[in-house]
Structure 1
Amino acid sequence: MDGMKKFFKEQAQILFPEVWELAREIGENPELGYQEFFAVDVLTRFLSRYGFDVLRPIAGLETAFLARFQGKKPGPRIAFLAEYDALPEVGHGCGHNLIGAASAGAGVVLSRSEELLGEVLVIGTPAEETSGAKVTLVKKGIFDRVDAAMMFHPGSQNVPEVSSLALDAIEFTFIGRSAHAVAAAQFGVNALEAMITFFNNVNALKKEIPDDTRINGIITEGGTTPNIVPDKAVARFYLRAPRRKGLDELQKKVIHCAKEAASSVSAKVTWRKFENSYDDMLTNRTLAGVFTKNLRELGIKRISSPQVAMGSVDMGNVSRVVPAIHPYLALGKGMNIPHTRDYTEAVLSPAGEKLLLLAIESLVGTGWDLLNDPKLLKHIKKEFYQETDLWG
């Protein structure tokens, strides 16, 4: 480990009690997506105290922010992405309190260098668990002048290179005609019957699609009383596939299932996206390699090979406009199940504390390597342009 890396390690350990307090406070005060005002206040006060210029809100999102620290000379712009939304009932059962604190902590530690070139950004990104504000931030141009973006996520293993599934969230509404369910059923058009046929069609479709493709749906509205023919039925679906192109094809097939179901009872059907669509995560392999190198320098020996996460992340949309990584680092022994109260307790335990320090140190080391090696950053960008051309 070179002299600057040792300096950053020392700074991370000095600053760590304060950063752990951030993670603890956010963890003990969970907020749902777009309601994370406490978390944003805590994080931005911390960043401002250490010399970051903070802009909030941004992109029309009340709980999004952009914090900037300019080095002494021009150079690359490196972004650490902070998440801080919680889950209903469960709280921080996905560890976003650690993510937000790690990115803010990494930004401040990196800014402590007297030799800093370029600019360090910490971007606050709300609502990852629901509508995925990173999608909006991408559309609004927040990442247009960023050279590389990174964050970490708690997981069961140390996995620097991760891909994810593209996601579309689609709501289907079937419209029929109400009537007395006994005395005049023949005059009604049963929207719920169309919905049930739709689900049967989708179940048949599931037998034809690849194993790594997912269709999951629920009925959110199906009538008010058994004595009235339902004139409206609503369902929400998540469609997932390894690549955006494959997901677009899947969406067409599911919509065809809905049209056939509506036609079978002379109902009408409409559909809309009720949440932002996520692209699959396009991890920059060179950048992930730099993160891996820093993990090894920190004494981490158990590092897993590239994996596909069977979920979806809005970081995928970021990875289409800037070289990006979304590595997972093991929480404790990796036995805790995410999105549970058990996980919420784990991220606030000594295991969560240990993980947070590792995340800060590995992110800082990766950021420093990019800011100080123009050839490396050039190689990262070359790979990025080649990969985005390939996948579209």
Structure 2
Amino acid sequence: MVATCHAAVHRHRETLLALAHSLHAEPEVSFAEYRSAAKITELLADQGFRVQAPVAGLDTAFVAEKGEGDLVVGLCAEYDALPEVGHACGHNIIAASSVGAALALAEVADELGLRVRVLGTPAEETGGGKIVMLRAGLFDEVALAAMVHPAPEDVCRPSSLAIVDLEVRYTGRASHAASAPELGVNAADALTVAQVAIGLARQHLEPQQMVHGIVTEGGAAPNIVPAHTSAVFNLRAAGTQSLQRLENRIRACFDAGAVATGCTCEVTLVSPVYTELDADPWLVEAYRSAISETERTPVTRAEERTRTFGSTDMGNVTRELPAIHPLIAVDCGDAVNHQAEFATACASESGEQAVLDGARALAETVLAAATDPDQRDRLTASVQRRGSQRRHPSARPPELGTDESGQ
């Protein structure tokens, strides 16, 4: 069956690479991936997948399935890009490799009793499409979920940081900056005070806590006291409880800006909380075995503990069901994710190889789990347990942000 899957990836090679290049050539940002989602769903429909789109109330989310088996396996496709630098995180590779794995697994779905589900998950960069889809129940039947993410090196079990995105808006009062400055209430000063407070707080942050942000509105003209300013900040931490402590501290810095200047302050949540990755150990090792059969050499297990890969809403998926989020290397020189040079690498020959190797390794990982009786039983039991928790909410772990969570 492994040979069948590998042959399927090879047979669909040109289709998969064309998809990766087409997505790369027309990058679309979070929640606006209309062309990208259409390209993927049209390809899957042509291959006999049953497509539902849109889903979960998201215009650019979809689910595509093939097979009638009792074991539902989920391949997550990301396809949003970044402003200005396009596919500098390589989501074109993610989408194409997940589609490739799905096409390969579809060839053995009937024999193995699989239902192969491609989950089109928009807005990973900001917005948390997977979290919305989780809440909508689109992962409820999924026994395992998997994807590969491009990076400078191959890492089978990377760590990630929990993250929350906050927007702060200050409102003051406009006035002539020269003839009547005393009548103004300066919203730009409020934002400056907040930024200084955050900068001073950095000395005392916990390990792996991070804060970074940009000013999105700073005023209209230098001779007008700014009445409105805004900024967006990413807050990251090793875990959700540390993240909540950091959020409390940063919100106090926002308040300081308002108190110091007399402005009003409004803070809103831009994206739901992304939790840290908690990959399934057995699936990680199955992937390690699969990817090691290529010419790739992933970093060692000891080195993995030092590799923190930003933040991802796939972390929320890994906390709900067995799932993996390995990194697959592209030849990007000294570049890293979110740089223009990395975007170039994701359309290179090395990026093409990542699509094919990723598709094969994902398919082989699923095959390993589906053909191991103990693992298949474990995965099936996980689906049943989650179903029981949904029927009896009191048995579920507390959700993030509730008093019961310890935050």
The verdict on a shared fold, with TM-score over 0.5 as the criterion, is: yes
**Partners of 2:274 and 2:264 in 1: how far apart?**
28
Matched, 1:206 2:202: yes
User: What per-residue deviation string (whole Å, max 9, x for no partner) do you get for residues 39-97 of structure 1?
Assistant: 222222221222211111111112111001124xx422110011112223333222211
**Partners of 1:229 and 1:342 in 2: how far apart?**
40
What letter is aligned with 2:136?
A: K
What letter is aligned with 2:270?
A: F
What letter is aligned with 2:87?
A: H
Shift, 1:219, TM fit: 2.2
Shift, 1:262, TM fit: 1.5
1:357 aligned partner: 356
User: What per-residue deviation string (whole Å, max 9, x for no partner) do you get for residues 340-361 of structure 1?
Assistant: 3332332222212222111011
Shift, 1:13, TM fit: 1.5
Aligned equivalent of 2:230, options 234, 239, 247: 234
1:277 aligned partner: 273
**Partners of 1:142 and 1:171 in 2: how far apart?**
29
**Partners of 2:317 and 2:182 in 1: how far apart?**
52
Could you say if the C-alpha distance between residues 383 and 58 of structure 1 is closer, same or farther in structure 2, counting changes exceeding 3 Å?
closer
What letter is aligned with 1:98?
A: I
**Partners of 1:21 and 1:225 in 2: how far apart?**
47
1:86 aligned partner: 81
Aligned equivalent of 2:56, options 59, 75, 79: 59
> TM-score of the superposition, structure 2-length normalised?
0.87
2:186 aligned partner: 190
SS of residue matched to 1:270: strand
**Partners of 2:299 and 2:92 in 1: how far apart?**
23
Shift, 1:8, TM fit: 1.8
* 2:238–2:276 CA contact under 8 A, matched in 1: yes
**Partners of 1:344 and 1:275 in 2: how far apart?**
24
Shift, 1:339, TM fit: 2.6
**In angstroms, what is the RMSD of aligned CA positions?**
2.5
1:245 aligned partner: 241
**Partners of 1:191 and 1:304 in 2: how far apart?**
50
**Partners of 2:71 and 2:232 in 1: how far apart?**
42
Could you say if the C-alpha distance between residues 204 and 123 of structure 1 is closer, same or farther in structure 2, counting changes exceeding 3 Å?
same
User: What per-residue deviation string (whole Å, max 9, x for no partner) do you get for residues 175-194 of structure 1?
Assistant: 22333333433333222222
1:328 aligned partner: 327
Shift, 1:335, TM fit: 4.2
What letter is aligned with 1:295?
A: I
Shift, 1:304, TM fit: 3.4
Shift, 1:172, TM fit: 1.1
Could you say if the C-alpha distance between residues 225 and 18 of structure 1 is closer, same or farther in structure 2, counting changes exceeding 3 Å?
closer
SS of residue matched to 2:320: coil
User: What per-residue deviation string (whole Å, max 9, x for no partner) do you get for residues 93-147 of structure 1?
Assistant: 2221111111111111111015121311001111222323112111212111211
Shift, 1:381, TM fit: 8.1
**Partners of 1:37 and 1:231 in 2: how far apart?**
36
1:218 aligned partner: 214
Matched, 1:97 2:63: no
The share of aligned pairs that are identical, in percent, is 32
Matched, 1:40 2:37: yes
Could you say if the C-alpha distance between residues 21 and 187 of structure 1 is closer, same or farther in structure 2, counting changes exceeding 3 Å?
closer
Could you say if the C-alpha distance between residues 389 and 35 of structure 1 is closer, same or farther in structure 2, counting changes exceeding 3 Å?
closer
Shift, 1:333, TM fit: 6.7
* 2:321–2:382 CA contact under 8 A, matched in 1: no
SS of residue matched to 2:111: coil
* 1:284–1:383 CA contact under 8 A, matched in 2: no
Shift, 1:379, TM fit: 4.8
1:112 aligned partner: 107
Alignment: residue pair count? 386
2:151 aligned partner: 155
> TM-score of the superposition, structure 1-length normalised?
0.90
Could you say if the C-alpha distance between residues 221 and 346 of structure 1 is closer, same or farther in structure 2, counting changes exceeding 3 Å?
closer
Matched, 1:130 2:126: yes
**Partners of 2:397 and 2:99 in 1: how far apart?**
32
* 1:158–1:304 CA contact under 8 A, matched in 2: no
Structure 2 unmatched ranges of 5 or more: 386-395
**Partners of 1:318 and 1:115 in 2: how far apart?**
27
* 1:332–1:355 CA contact under 8 A, matched in 2: no
Aligned equivalent of 2:257, options 234, 245, 261: 261
**Partners of 1:179 and 1:301 in 2: how far apart?**
62
2:172 aligned partner: 176
**Partners of 1:184 and 1:344 in 2: how far apart?**
49
User: What per-residue deviation string (whole Å, max 9, x for no partner) do you get for residues 272-324 of structure 1?
Assistant: 01233312122122221111122234454444332442411111122222221
User: What per-residue deviation string (whole Å, max 9, x for no partner) do you get for residues 330-387 of structure 1?
Assistant: 11376443333332332222212222111011000011122222412455688999xx
SS of residue matched to 2:271: coil
Structure 1 unmatched ranges of 5 or more: none
Matched, 1:15 2:30: no
What letter is aligned with 1:338?
A: N
**Partners of 2:229 and 2:21 in 1: how far apart?**
43
Could you say if the C-alpha distance between residues 247 and 302 of structure 1 is closer, same or farther in structure 2, counting changes exceeding 3 Å?
closer
SS of residue matched to 2:163: strand
* 2:4–2:104 CA contact under 8 A, matched in 1: no
